[in-house]
């Protein structure tokens, strides 16, 4: 239990599901051959870490930030620009990390100091405005970021798909640079999630929960709430930037659509809400459900849309068109806030109820 920071899943079904997900992710290169499965698995790893870091904010402090993709994007762009500018070597990777992480933390500090001292509702609106300005900047500074096209780059020799580490004749599976990259993504995501679990179960995490439940009382007890909230904001930004770095490394690309867009922000929100706010574990469940659905349900919608248009039904083909995936996502979002405020994890742990869903302020 040490590795889980003394906060086990506390439900047999939940434990089983989590173990299954983690085993399936770890064994993806061997169980499900093909590039798509590996891509989906890597995306689940990256998003599990990203969503967990968002949960530190939304679930544990109760503050809604719309700037989380900004930090994710800073990580992605930092490593992409470094590898693009300095060539595919490890010094560039190190530069990207050394520049990207502090930049994200500093920006989070600035936003925190500037908006957390007022009201939670202000924080949501200000982060939305700042994130949209950042997005405009990223698409306008095309000499640096490549504008709308983004930046494609090459990885260092060791991580390239062409690099064969263990040839197929040995185990029947080829271990190449691509698979090494996947395990890198998997391991670092796992470490970041375990780190977050440690943070939320520390005394610091308890203070965050206290602030979420009653900020005034926490203040009266002598906690400097602005300090704690800003600290949590910086931590979440660091992990988000870390996830951004992993994502860019996996895609070998960073661009506005994959790392900055508002729709990613909504995806993150949805994953947190579906998984269960204030339970770090929910991030893993939410990311898995959501990304599996996103990758495999959209084709199903295409089939349904075609069937509806052949049957001559009005309106339905348009509503079921694969591009309208977000519409159903939005409905699901509303329904889950309304009916499952504690998410999957909360349901499995307590069998329903409204506990731990986060207070209003």
Residues that bind other proteins (CB under 8 A): 58, 62, 64, 114-115, 117-122, 124-126, 128-130, 132-133, 136-137, 140, 262, 266, 269, 273, 315, 318-319, 321, 323-324, 326-327, 329-331, 333-334, 337-338, 341, 358-361
Please say which residue, 29 or 343, places its beta carbon nearer to other proteins: 343
Minimum CB separation of residue 60 from other proteins in Å reads 12
Could you write out the three-class secondary structure of the chain? CHHHCCCCCCCHHHHHHHHHHHHHHHHHHHHCCCHHHHHHHHHHHHHHHHHHHHHHHHCCCCCCCCCHHHHHHHHHHHHHHHHHHHCCCHHHHHHHHHHHHHHHHHHHHHHHHHHCCCCHHHHHHHHHHHHHHHHHHHHHCHHHHCHHHCEECCCCHHHCCCCEEECHHHHCCCEEHHHHHHHHHHHHHHHHHHHHHHHHCCHHHHHHHHHHHCHHHHHHCCCCHHHHHHHHHHHHHHHHHHHHHHHHHHHCEECHHHHCCHHHHHHHHHHHHHHCCCCCHHHHHHHHHHHHHHHHHHHHHHHHHHHHHHCCCCCHHHHHCHHHHHHHHHHHHHHHHHHCCCHHHHHHHHCCCCCCCCCCC
Nearer to other proteins, 3 or 220 (CB): 220
Considering beta carbons, is residue 267 or 281 the nearer one to other proteins?
A: 267
- Of 171 and 262, which has the nearer Cβ to other proteins? 262
Q: What tokens were used for 262?
A: 């508002």
CB of 128 to other proteins, least distance (A): 6
Q: Closer CB to other proteins, residue 177 or residue 341?
A: 341
CB of 170 vs other proteins, minimal distance in Å: 49
Output the smallest distance, CB 156 to other proteins, in A. 35
Alpha-carbon distance 208 to 197, whole Å? 13
**Which CB atom, from 18 or from 280, has the smaller least distance to other proteins?**
280
Dist. CA 322–CA 298, nearest whole Å: 5
CB of 327 to other proteins, least distance (A): 3
CB of 158 to other proteins, least distance (A): 39
Min separation Cβ 361 and other proteins, Å? 6
CB of 134 to other proteins, least distance (A): 9
Residue 176 backbone phi and psi in degrees, to 5: -120, -175
> CB 140 → other proteins: shortest distance, Å?
6
Question: Long-range CB contacts (< 8 A, 24+ apart) of 332-340?
Answer: 332/270, 332/274, 333/266, 333/269, 333/270, 333/273, 336/270, 336/273, 336/274, 337/273, 340/274
Which C-beta is closer to other proteins: that of 32 or that of 262?
A: 262
Residue 195 or 322: which CB sits closer to other proteins?
322
Nearer to other proteins, 136 or 164 (CB): 136
């Amino acid at each position: 239990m040490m590795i889980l920071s003394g906060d086990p899943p506390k439900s047999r079904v939940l434990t089983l599901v989590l173990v299954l997900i983690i085993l399936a992710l770890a064994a993806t290169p061997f169980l499900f051959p093909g590039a798509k499965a590996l891509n989906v698995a890597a995306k689940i790893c990256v998003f599990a870490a990203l969503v967990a870091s968002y949960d530190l904010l939304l679930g544990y402090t109760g503050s809604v930030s719309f700037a989380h993709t900004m930090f994710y994007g800073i990580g992605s762009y930092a490593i992409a620009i470094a590898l693009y500018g300095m060539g595919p070597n490890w010094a560039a990777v190190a530069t990207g990390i050394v520049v990207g992480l502090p930049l994200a933390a500093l920006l989070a500090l600035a936003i925190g100091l500037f908006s957390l001292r007022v009201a939670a509702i202000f924080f949501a609106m200000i982060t939305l405005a700042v994130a949209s300005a950042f997005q405009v900047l990223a698409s306008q500074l095309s000499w640096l970021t490549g504008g709308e096209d983004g930046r494609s780059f090459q990885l260092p020799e060791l991580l390239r798909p062409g690099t064969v580490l263990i040839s197929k004749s040995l185990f029947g599976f080829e271990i190449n640079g691509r698979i090494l990259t996947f395990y890198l993504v998997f391991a670092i995501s796992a470490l970041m999630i375990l780190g977050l679990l440690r943070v939320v179960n520390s005394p610091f995490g308890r203070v965050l929960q206290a602030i979420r439940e009653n900020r005034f009382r926490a203040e009266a007890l002598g906690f400097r709430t602005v300090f704690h909230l800003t600290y949590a904001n910086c931590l979440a930004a660091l992990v988000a930037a870390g996830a951004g770095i992993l994502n860019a490394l996996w895609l070998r690309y960073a661009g506005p659509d994959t790392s900055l867009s508002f729709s990613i922000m909504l995806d993150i929100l949805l994953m947190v809400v579906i998984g269960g706010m204030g339970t770090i574990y929910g991030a893993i469940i939410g990311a898995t459900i959501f990304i599996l659905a996103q990758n495999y349900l959209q084709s199903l919608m295409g089939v349904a849309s075609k069937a509806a248009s052949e049957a001559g039904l009005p309106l339905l083909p348009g509503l079921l068109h694969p591009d309208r995936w977000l519409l159903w996502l939005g409905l699901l979002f509303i329904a889950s806030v309304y009916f499952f405020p504690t998410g999957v994890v909360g349901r499995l742990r307590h069998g329903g109820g409204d506990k731990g869903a986060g207070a209003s302020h």
